């Protein structure tokens, strides 16, 4: 593979649908390299310009390159270390191992100062840690941040308009992310509220499952609106208690991401809810290949809320449906029968 010179360089680690989408968007202003775990995947992207594992019906830019060779990825960054950005496009479940491996590699190459952002949403199942907590536990990257917002990978690859937020305490992270990803179809906003952005991204998936169940049961638009609104209350309660800025939850990474995930047909979490409403078991849904972060983080979210004394009835109901076998209709009825109270 020949790597051409470019003033800005992006390395995206993780060739799932969202990693592929961001690597595609990064080709507008940088030389973008997508690191894949599987050699056959990298070869197909490099030679035939589509991802055979994710969104295979979409053509990728000819300027997007891919590799499964770590040495090639490191060399890519070494060509312009002062003008590079690393994007971790792996799920929460792979965050710890990926950070440990790449921090060691980048430290050995004296590249650990390159700004790094992550895109995963949820809590780590074994520890209940948020992504920023994981990365700080296993690495010492000086410039870190999270990228989030209402976005479907397919639409980003198609260059349809999208707005995202990069949250970081590092100006370098905010500016480098903007330089690379801000373009005619992708708008980047800045924030310093890492906790708020991460909590909003994690919890909206749980509420999206609830909305999918309601839609699957044909409970109507009124019910969906109520779930989104009261779900946002739950997100804000927990997020604010954990240290997030309440205003974050009415922005792109709170309300914006919640509305998209709860109503969009491309939402995997909503698809889980729809399938549950149709009588399918959680195991059957997972076996079908649907991966939804809301399922993975629901119990950890409820555990954190319980520990902090935060009331989250929708999240509790979803946990009962997913993990205790409570029929969806019964869970809805229990929510409706809760004591009347003041809204806020």
Q: Show which residues are catalytic.
A: 204
User: 70-78 vs 95-108: helix axis angle to the nearest 10?
Assistant: 60
Phi–psi pair at 86, nearest 5 degrees:
-110, 130
**Diameter of the chain measured on Cα atoms:** 66
Do the beta carbons of residue 197 and residue 204 sit within 8 Å?
A: no
Q: Which residues contact 167 (CB under 8 A, 6 or more apart)?
A: 145, 146, 147, 148, 190, 191, 192, 193, 194, 196, 197, 198, 253
Tell me whether residue 280 is annotated as binding.
no
Q: Specify the DSSP class assigned to residue 286.
A: H
Question: What does the block give as tokens for 275?
Answer: 């399938």
The verdict on whether residue 268 carries a ligand-binding annotation is yes
- Determine whether the annotation assigns residue 168 to a binding site: no
Give the other-Cβ count within 10 Å of 118's Cβ. Answer: 26
216 marked ligand binding residue: no
Does 14 show up as a binding residue in the annotation? yes
Answer yes or no: is 16 a known binding residue: yes
DSSP 93: G
Q: 212 among the known binding-site residues?
A: no
204 marked as part of a ligand binding site: yes
Task: Flag whether 257 is marked binding.
Answer: yes
For residues 307 and 241, the answer to whether their CB atoms sit within 8 Å is: no
Distance of CA 23 to the CA centre of its chain: 15
- Strand-pairing partners, residue 87, are 12, 117
38 annotated as belonging to a binding site for a ligand:
yes
Contact 152, 165 (CB under 8 A): no
Asked if residue 73 belongs to a known ligand binding site, the reply is no
Residue 153 assigned ligand-binding role: yes
42 is in an annotated binding site: no
Mark the binding-site residues for sn-glycerol 3-phosphate, compressed into ranges.
Answer: 121, 149, 151, 204, 257, 267-269
Mark the binding-site residues for NAD(+), compressed into ranges.
Answer: 14-19, 153, 268
Mark the binding-site residues for substrate, compressed into ranges.
Answer: 121, 268-269
Mark the binding-site residues for NADPH, compressed into ranges.
Answer: 17-18, 37-38, 54, 121, 153, 268, 293
Mark the binding-site residues, compressed into ranges.
Answer: 14-19, 37-38, 54, 121, 149, 151, 153, 204, 257, 267-269, 293
């Amino acid at each position: 593979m020949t790597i051409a010179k470019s003033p800005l360089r992006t390395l995206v680690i993780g060739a799932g649908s969202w990693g592929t989408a961001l690597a595609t968007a990064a080709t507008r202003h940088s030389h973008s390299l997508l690191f894949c775990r599987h050699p056959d995947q990298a070869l197909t992207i490099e030679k035939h310009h589509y991802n055979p594992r994710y969104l295979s019906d979409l053509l990728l830019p000819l300027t997007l390159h891919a590799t499964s060779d770590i040495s090639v990825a490191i060399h890519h960054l070494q060509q312009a270390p002062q003008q590079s950005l690393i994007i971790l496009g792996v799920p929460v479940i792979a965050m710890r191992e990926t950070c440990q491996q790449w921090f060691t590699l980048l430290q050995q190459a004296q590249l650990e100062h390159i700004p790094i952002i992550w895109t995963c949403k949820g809590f780590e199942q074994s520890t209940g840690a948020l992504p920023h907590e994981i990365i700080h536990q296993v690495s010492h990257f000086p410039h870190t941040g999270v990228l989030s917002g209402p976005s479907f990978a397919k639409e980003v690859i198609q260059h349809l308009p999208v707005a995202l937020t990069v949250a970081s305490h590092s100006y370098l992270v905010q500016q480098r992310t903007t330089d690379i990803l801000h373009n005619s179809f992708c708008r980047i906003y800045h924030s310093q509220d890492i906790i708020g952005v991460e909590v909003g991204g994690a919890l909206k998936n749980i509420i999206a499952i609830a909305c999918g169940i309601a839609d699957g049961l044909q409970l109507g638009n009124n019910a969906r609106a109520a779930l989104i609104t009261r779900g946002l209350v739950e997100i804000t309660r927990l997020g604010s208690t954990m240290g997030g800025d309440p205003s974050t939850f009415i922005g792109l990474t709170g309300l914006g991401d919640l509305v998209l995930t709860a109503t969009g047909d491309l939402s995997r979490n909503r698809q889980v809810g729809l399938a549950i409403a149709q009588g399918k078991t959680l195991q059957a849904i997972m076996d079908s290949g649907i991966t939804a972060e809301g399922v993975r983080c629901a119990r950890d979210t409820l555990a954190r809320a319980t520990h902090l004394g935060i009331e989250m009835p929708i999240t509790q109901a979803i946990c009962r449906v997913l993990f205790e076998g409570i029929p969806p209709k019964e869970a809805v009825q229990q929510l409706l029968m809760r004591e009347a109270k003041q809204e806020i």
